[in-house]
Amino acid sequence: MSYNLLKGKKGIIFGALDENSIAWKTAIKAHEEGATFVLTNAPIAMRMGQIKELAEKTGSEIIPADATNVEDLENLVEKAMEILGGKIDFVLHSIGMSINVRKGRHYTDQKYDFTDKGWDVSALSFHKVCQTLYQKDAMNEWGSIVALTYMAAQRVFPDYNDMADNKAYLESIARSFGYFYGKQKNVRVNTISQSPTPTTAGQGVKGFDGFIAYADKMSPLGNATAQECADYTISLFSDLTKKVTMQNLFHDGGFSNTGVSNEVMEKFMTEE
């Protein structure tokens, strides 16, 4: 069902890898809701993924960009405005990567070169995106910038490793940049803290299947799917959320406010 929530709006979507990714589903939904946008990803991710297929489905152009490279981002923003014929209304930052996780290094035994790279890709890139947009005055008034995060920024999930630190930094950038972007340009900046989701990136975390099952049993509404996250993201891109900014918005079926559920308790209770 379409509500035309983004009719006439223009955007940039980072990080669509394949049809499991939240960015991919957000792009499809944004297209259905009347938006036009450019797709972007790092050249290596573009070779691995199926972004060309998504571009065809949504009538979008692809502009390769390394989100850690300011020159790439400047080129992306300039080209996006050329292609779309004006300033940007919405941006999705859906990028995250930890080499320490990939290489199986424990949180207490990080290789700091890996840590630096992961932090740059997962967190600092968000500041670089916001700063590039800000300095180029590329966002329309009441535009919306959203990044995806996870609750490990607030609470310990042992195998989430250094990504937890990256997400905490990412959320802080959204608050700080949201303040300045709001004051100067009436642009809003938020993060969505999503349920564990079986995306290509998410499944790199050890013990992920057990973890999804646990979160589902802990959440009164169950885990939020990637599609539901896309829907929520669209609402934040729309004019219905004009005064929502600097927030970390939990989209997790109630997990973040649940101490324990009956289903989880039952696993630990033994019958006499």
Q: What is the pLDDT, as a whole number, of residue 130? A: 98
Structure tokens at 85: 């014929």
Give the chain's domains with CATH numbers: 10-268 (3.40.50.720)
Mean per-residue pLDDT of the chain: 95
Q: Tens digit of pLDDT for each residue in 153-201?
A: 999 999 899 999 999 999 999 999 999 999 999 999 999 999 999 877 6
* pLDDT: which is higher, 271 or 152: 152
Q: Residue 207 — very low, low, confident or very high, per pLDDT cuts 50/70/90?
A: confident
Q: Residue 44 — very low, low, confident or very high, per pLDDT cuts 50/70/90?
A: confident
How far apart, in whole angstroms, are the C-alpha atoms of residue 50 and residue 58?
A: 13
Exposed / middle / buried, residue 134 (Cβ in 10 Å: 0-12, 13-18, 19+): middle
How far apart, in whole angstroms, are the C-alpha atoms of residue 148 and residue 194?
A: 7
Q: What is the pLDDT, as a whole number, of residue 205? A: 66
Q: How far apart are the first and last CA of the chain?
A: 51
Residue 159 neighbours by CB under 8 Å, 6+ apart: 205, 206, 207, 211
pTM, two decimal places: 0.96
179 is catalytic: no
**Of 3, 107, 160, 214, which one is the catalytic site residue?**
160
Residue identified by tokens 């946008």 is 37
**Of 3, 112, 134, 150, which one is the catalytic site residue?**
150
150 is catalytic: yes
Q: What is the pLDDT, as a whole number, of residue 210? A: 85
Q: What is the pLDDT, as a whole number, of residue 208? A: 77
Q: Tens digit of pLDDT for each residue in 46-89?
A: 887 799 999 999 999 999 999 999 999 999 999 999 999 999 99
How far apart, in whole angstroms, are the C-alpha atoms of residue 86 and residue 98?
A: 35
Q: What is the pLDDT, as a whole number, of residue 271? A: 56
Q: Tens digit of pLDDT for each residue in 22-36?
A: 999 999 999 999 999
**Closest by Cα among 14, 21, 35 to 238:** 35
Residue numbers belonging to the annotated binding site for NAD(+): 15, 21-22, 95, 167
Residue 255 has pLDDT above 70, yes or no: yes
Q: What is the pLDDT, as a whole number, of residue 46? A: 80
Residue numbers belonging to the annotated binding site: 15, 21-22, 95, 167
